[in-house]
């Protein structure tokens, strides 16, 4: 039976992509590819960290802190950075002290506008050193490398399209 409301405590797309890469060679069926692994589900059951995406490159830490602190006390905020230039590249991690604060934030802040952009928030398994850097070849986010439309909030055209 299909739920009418999406679960808030679902894995982030980042966690799901890591999970798929691990299981790519031993596919059982299509349903298994869409379901998170038990390890990921366990980590998310009490997750206190949010992955926040679709941020403008010009959004400041202070703006993010101001918006996300409306749902609870923030333990740590980690800005996503371009791996080579060390400049913001459109995502961050927000860690709360409690799982309930993180869920409240998903409910009330996820999908709202910040710097004229609709932000995306997902529960995350937790920040680990190194995850603050973009994974694209040019150092930023992969999706920004191939963008064909002009987006002033994310640096204009995609980096590989410009070349």
Residue 36 lies in a domain: no
Give how many domains the chain has, as a whole number: 1
3-class DSSP assignment, residue 76: strand
Residue 117 lies in a domain: yes
Q: What is the pTM of this model?
A: 0.75
Residue 135 lies in a domain: yes
pLDDT band at 31 (very low <50, low <70, confident <90, very high): very low
* CATH code, domain carrying 65: 3.30.70.330
What is the Cβ-side half-sphere exposure of residue 9, based on CA atoms within 13 angstroms? 13
Residue 30 lies in a domain: no
Residue 38 lies in a domain: no
C-alpha 121/C-alpha 111 separation (Å) is 7
Residue 102 lies in a domain: yes
C-alpha 80/C-alpha 145 separation (Å) is 16
Residue 136 lies in a domain: yes
DSSP-assigned beta bridge partners for residue 118:
113
**pLDDT of 5 higher than 90:** no
Residue 141 lies in a domain: yes
CB 156 within 8 A of CB 150: yes
What letters, b where the CB count within 10 A reaches 16 and e where it falls short, cover 8-36? eebbbebbbeebeeeeeeeeeeeeeeeeb
Which residues constitute the domain of residue 104?
8-20+45-161
pLDDT band at 152 (very low <50, low <70, confident <90, very high): confident
C-alpha 62/C-alpha 53 separation (Å) is 16
What is the Cβ-side half-sphere exposure of residue 79, based on CA atoms within 13 angstroms? 19
> Tens digits of per-residue pLDDT, 121-144?
999 988 999 899 988 888 888 878
């Amino acid at each position: 039976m299909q739920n009418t409301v999406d679960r808030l405590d679902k894995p982030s797309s980042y966690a799901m992509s890591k999970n798929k890469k691990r299981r790519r060679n031993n596919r059982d069926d299509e349903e298994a590819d869409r379901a998170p692994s038990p390890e990921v589900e366990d980590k998310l059951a009490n997750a206190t960290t949010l992955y926040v995406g679709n941020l403008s490159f010009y959004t400041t830490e202070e703006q993010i802190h101001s918006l996300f602190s409306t749902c609870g006390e923030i333990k740590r905020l980690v800005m996503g950075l371009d791996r080579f230039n060390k400049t913001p590249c459109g995502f961050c991690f927000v860690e709360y002290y409690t799982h309930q604060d993180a869920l409240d934030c998903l409910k009330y802040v996820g999908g709202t506008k910040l710097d004229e952009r609709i932000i995306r928030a997902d529960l995350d398994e937790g920040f680990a050193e190194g995850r603050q850097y973009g994974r694209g070849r040019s150092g930023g986010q992969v999706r920004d490398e191939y963008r064909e439309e002009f987006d002033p909030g994310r640096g204009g055209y995609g980096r590989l399209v410009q070349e």
